[in-house]
A and B are shown apart, each in its own frame.
Chain A
Amino acid sequence: MPRFVDPDFELFLADPHALLLKYQNMITTIVRLYVKGGMFTQDELADMVQTVNLALLERVGSIRQNYNHSTLLRTYISAIIRNICRRQWQINPKRRALLRPLTDGDADQHEQLDRHGIKQSKLLFAAVMKQYGRHGPKLTICLKLRFRQPLTRSDILAWWPRCRRAELKKFLGHFGGDFEKMTDLVMYTTATPFFNAAEQKVNTDDALRKWTAKRIEEILETLNGSIPGAAFNEEALRILFEDSLSPFILQD
């Protein structure tokens, strides 16, 4: 069976200018996102689109050489455009001064979500969670503990399929209902033996808290590093996470 070759690449080989014309809407949308994020001014929009076009034409040779036909060309080109835009922002000190993300506590996180688009934020959060792969089920449990959301049987079995009934019942007895008033100390002290049994380890109570904190920090870095001008903190993460559990909290 012949391997599928993206027709856009055939166009690119035949006539790179024609391909760029086809991708102009996409290129403009991407640059506009960076303008909205504060990395470029509105006045620079047209110039930046042109800069991107020229940079792509300069890279025709390297694209032909490096592109291995494993992805859709438009996605591959988008990754290159991202690099071009970030490079343009980094080399210009005036542009770096323009971008002053709000720090923690400076902005209401609902406002942050509104600003960047609730639908977009929800989709990106879901995409970030998917990237955790095998760690996803444990991460879900730890976020539920952190944000005091009741655990379910399926949460635990998704992570520990061989969990014994007695263990399952005991753990859900602590965290399957309302444990909002439980302190972090009591929560991690209660949860740690369960995690140790599942992972066949002997970790301290603090290890689980640190693992959770590290993952939250990573998720926030990923979101804030991906969305131009974003400054989400843990409160926004809590909102997005709770919405992912009950997808009617946030209105798109």
Chain B
Amino acid sequence: MAKSRIFFDENGHLNDEGVALFVDALKLDTVNQIPEQIRRHVEDCAECKTSITGVLTLLEEEDYGDVQNHPTFKLRKRPFMQKVPPILRIAAIVAGVCLVAALAYYLVVWKGGVAENQVHLPSARAIPDSTAAPKKSSEEPIHARAEKFAANFTPNPEFEGMVQGGTRSEELTVVTPTNDADVRPAEAQFNWQSRSDDALTLIVYDNHGQAVFSVADTNPPVRMPIALEPGLYYWKLMNEEEGLHFGKFYVRR
């Protein structure tokens, strides 16, 4: 690294070499490699800015694109990008952004199975229609039913890690359900207090990670329109940008 003192004159301003170094950096896009002492001085010195910009003005027609080496700066070799016209670079960036957005939409909406402003029908875990013929208990062994019932309460390792004691946002306070609360099947109600008026999205998952209920752009309180089958459930509150709360509760008879 060049010694900074050789770039200053007796008055503490940049000398010709100091000015030239900064100009080289501007021409070669290596401003971040300028010694800090020089950068800090120029930030606060109008006289040196004028000198630097003055020399830069004179070199406006000088092509530094062919410079491969520099005594002080490490130069990146990007011949391809330098040859690509700016409008094509912009078009490439726009195309890339559209592709990423389409992929994200596919992954979040179609693969995640959660669409905005829609209330999902419950999965097969919900209490079945009472008018339907009851399943004969003899059709399923007791121990199998017991195992199945117990499996509904098995914690989901991934979701357990996301459950927090509090919320991620200082603006939000969850009222109900608190973590590990017991809720009756038809009495699940979600309530929270928020300092902002933003409408949020609420999603409820079973312990297998399947979304069983969701509603977008909603304000509290939110009452479940369906009765959940006994088991362990997780729920999430989120705004357009990030998740604000992730909690869990149990449904018991």
Contacts and interface: CB of A to CB of B under 8 A. Distances in A.
Interface stretch (A40-48, A131-139, A202-210): A131-139
A72 B72 CA distance: 9
Nearest to A68: B6
Contacts of A67: 17
A222 B62 contact: no
Contacts of B51: 79, 82
A26 B57 contact: no
Interface residues of A, number: 48
A124 B42 contact: no
Contact of A131 (B42, B64, B67): B42
Interface string A220-233: 01110111100000
A130 B26 CA distance: 8
Nearest to A219: B49
Contact of A70 (B31, B64, B72): B72
Interface secondary structure of B, over-half rule: helix
B53 A218 contact: no
Contacts of A81: 58
Interface in B4-32: 6-7, 15-17, 19-24, 26-27, 31
Given A83-B16, A128-B49, A133-B39, A226 B31 contact: no
B195 A166 contact: yes
A223 B53 CA distance: 7
B56 A225 contact: no
Interface in A83-142: 83, 117, 120, 123-124, 127-128, 130-135
A120 B61 CA distance: 9
A251 interface: no
Contact of A74 (B16, B46, B62): B62
B2 A72 contact: no
Contact of B71 (A4, A66, A132, A169): A4
A6 interface: yes
Interface secondary structure of A, over-half rule: helix
Contacts of B49: 128, 131, 218, 222
B17 A68 contact: yes
A27 B71 CA distance: 23
B58 A128 contact: no
A80 B53 CA distance: 14
Contacts of B19: 79
A69 interface: yes
A6 B71 contact: yes
26 contacts: A29-B58, A33-B57, A33-B58, A66-B17, A69-B71, A70-B7, A70-B72, A71-B23, A72-B67, A75-B21, A75-B24, A76-B16, A76-B20, A78-B59, A82-B58, A127-B53, A127-B56, A130-B26, A133-B42, A165-B171, A166-B171, A166-B195, A169-B196, A218-B46, A218-B49, A225-B53
